[in-house]
Amino acid sequence: MISDIDLDHVAVATERQRDAWPRYAGDLAGAWVSGGESIGFHAAQLSYANGMKVEVLEPHLVEQNDFLRRFLDANGPGAHHLTFKVPDIEAALRAAESAGLSPVGVDLRDPQWQEAFLHPKQAHGVVVQLAQSQGTWESPPPPDLPAPVTEAPATLDHVTHAVASLDEAAALFRDLLGGAEVGAGSLDGGRFLDLAWAGGGTVRLVAALADGDAGSPWTAWLDGRRGRVHHLAFTVADPSQVPDAALADDGTWVVDPERNLGVRLVLRGA
């Protein structure tokens, strides 16, 4: 297991960050954290009531690094990666390699930000970023950042990640990445395992009741993949007031991915 690891944020890929602000800063009242440019992308983060963050990415300087451009061209906008902060990235890399994984994109040149990645083929359908950072990243908000529509920021309850094998995914997110089991049960023809980290982030792994069950909606959602982010779950003051949210049979409110830049939202009332 990687020691003292914490889930820091979930990143979503967009063509234009400004298209995401009305939802994540306005409707969900996310608080501005910071933003900045790098080779291949521009990133900016918003924080929610429990400390969990959403990072919004848009392509930048793609002629020098086209990873985000290629992702958008292949998949369209949507969830891109999960970032875990570690105090010692070299120790984290050794732990990952001991678990039989092969980190890619390892960059330890800058002592202020060192990173490595687990490819989706090894990380059950999602990019996992491991990062060691020093100091803080501060920048003013963009002038067009909308004001929150409510005084109470939403809570990002969990990232729901559908997987082909719950046991195999748990071996990564629990046994290597250090998520603590905080819940388990059945859900919509599947079974789930909730794993939480100290900073407030939670990943809900969901799989069919039996691995490979072709009749399960979770198997249908995977469409042959090992894993795929299904939705972000938020608690909000009044989900009925969130634009594009529709009441579901289970009492939650759902914003379809087509109405939210490729990311499904599932909302519960506070």
* 48 neighbors 28 (Cβ within 8 angstroms): yes
In terms of DSSP H, where are the helices of the chain? Answer: 21, 67-75, 89-98, 166-170, 217-222
Architecture field, domain 155-269: Roll (3.10)
| Domain 155-269 in the same topology as domain 6-133 | yes
Q: What is the mean pLDDT of residues 75-97?
A: 98
d(CA 140, CA 143): 9
pLDDT for 112 equals 92
- Domain borders along the chain are 6-133, 155-269
Q: pLDDT per residue over 181-229, tens digit each?
A: 999 999 888 999 999 999 999 999 999 998 878 889 999 999 999 999 9
* 244 neighbors 232 (Cβ within 8 angstroms): no
pLDDT for 247 equals 98
Q: ∠ at Cα 25 (31, 221), nearest 5°?
A: 115
Q: Does domain 6-133 have CATH number 3.10.180.10?
A: yes
* Residue 135 confidence (pLDDT) above 90: no
